[in-house]
Amino acid sequence: GENVEQHPSTLSVQEGDSAVIKCTYSDSASNYFPWYKQELGKRPQLIIDIRSNVGEKKDQRIAVTLNKTAKHFSLHITETQPEDSAVYFCAASGGTYKYIFGTGTRLKVLA
Partner 1 sequence: DSGVTQTPKHLITATGQRVTLRCSPRSGDLSVYWYQQSLDQGLQFLIHYYNGEERAKGNILERFSAQQFPDLHSELNLSSLELGDSALYFCASSVTPDTGELFFGEGSRLTVL
> Which of 90, 77, 84, 76 lies closest to 33 in space, CA to CA?
90
Does 81 participate in binding partner 1 (rule CB under 8 A)? no
DSSP lists the bridge partners of residue 16 as: none
Measured in degrees and rounded to the nearest 5, phi and psi for residue 69 equal: -60, -45
For the CB of residue 103, give the shortest distance to partner 1 in the complex, in Å.
4
Q: Which of 3, 45, 67, 81 lies at the binding interface for partner 1 (CB under 8 A)?
A: 45
Task: Return the half-sphere exposure (C-beta side, CA atoms, 13 A cut-off) of residue 85.
Answer: 12
Q: Which of 8, 55, 82, 95 lies at the binding interface for partner 1 (CB under 8 A)?
A: 95
Does 73 participate in binding partner 1 (rule CB under 8 A)? no
Amino acid at 37: K
Does 7 participate in binding partner 1 (rule CB under 8 A)? no
Residues lying near partner 1 in the complex (CB under 8 A) are found at 31-32, 34, 36, 42-46, 49, 51, 89, 93-104
